[in-house]
Structure 1
Amino acid sequence: MSNDLMNVEFEVRGLNELDDALAELTLSAQKKTLEGALMKAALPIMKDAKKRAPKDEGDLKKAIGRQRIKKADMPSVAVLVKKSRKNPYPFYWYFKEHGTSKMVATPYLRPAFEQNVELAIQLFSEELAKRIDKLTQD
């Protein structure tokens, strides 16, 4: 199965007023504002992925989180299975999501994204407007 579904980008259109207001901010403020709105938008996807994650003897649910992607060209946030200082990394997450030749897939990340993408876009635009208003009215 292709890994392309796990790395999805989308463009939100129709936010011209917000885009114009965002252009008034410094580059640093733009990045912080966009990342904050993206983190808010990723929250329902992360929560749903945790609910859908297969029950196991490991720490899979605890390892699902959201994270800013620092090396990306544009402000980016991902919902992913991540390493933690407290818990061992559940390397088997990929096998559960995609399956193997000996194990049926139990997708939980992709369905969480698909079920919540519209809500995430709505939350993103609302949070972005709120953050821009706060910065431009001060």
Structure 2
Amino acid sequence: MIDTRLDFSGLQNLENELKLLTRAENDRVRRQGARAGAGVVRDEARRRAPKRSGKLARNIVAVTARVSEQSRATAGVRVRERGKGDDSSNAFYWRFVELGTSKMPPAPFIRPAFDATEQQAGDAAIAKILEALDKVLMK
């Protein structure tokens, strides 16, 4: 699986504002920001995915994991693979397309989508965090 992280360590003002929030609000704000960044990558991956039937693009989703003890929110892009092969929410073949097989050359779409939107994803995450902070702090 592709594992890439974005580092926002230079945002001291953002960190100070996050400290003002309660733990629950803080976690929610971080999750929203991570999800917004993953949504940008998801949209680009859907755009780049092969469109023979559209099933593969429909099954590219953004997911959010729990906030860890180090106060990090994690979100990512994955392809759903549940159910039987003919199930509409099963695009198990995505890895064959992305990585290729012995009889088919690779046609990557997820990694190029990340590479193309890395900066935009970071900007979207920061914008969403600032928007959520403003909303929480205005209460």
TM-score bracket relative to the smaller structure: 0.7 to 0.9
What is the identity, as a one-letter code, of the residue corresponding to 2:74? S
Cα distance change of structure 1 residues 12 and 50 upon mapping to structure 2, 3 Å threshold: same
Secondary structure of 1:14's aligned partner: coil
Partner of 1:114: 115
Q: Aligned Cα RMSD in Å?
A: 2.0
Aligned to 1:79: 77
Cα offset, 1:59, TM superposition: 1.4
Q: Offset at 1:72?
A: 5.4
Residue 16 (str. 1) matches residue 17 (str. 2):
no
Name structure 2 gaps, 5 residues minimum: none
Which moves more between the two structures, 80-89 or 39-48? 80-89
Identify if the C-alpha distance between structure 1 residues 114 and 37 changes in structure 2 by more than 3 Å, giving closer, same or farther: same
SS in 2 for 1:80: strand
| Structure 1 moving runs of 4+ over 6 Å | none
Indicate conservation of the 8 Å contact 2:62/2:76, yes or no.
yes
* Partner SS, residue 48 of structure 1: helix
* Structure 1 Cα separation of the partners of residues 5 and 121 of structure 2: 13
Q: TM-score, normalised by structure 1?
A: 0.86
Alpha-carbon distance in 2 for matches of 1:62, 1:84: 13
Shift of 1:45: 1.1
Deviation at 1:83, TM superposition (A): 4.3
C-alpha change, 1:29 and 1:113, in structure 2 (3 Å) is same
Gaps of 5+ in 1: none
Q: For residue 44 of structure 1, what is the aligned residue in structure 2?
A: 40
Q: How many corresponding residue pairs? A: 134
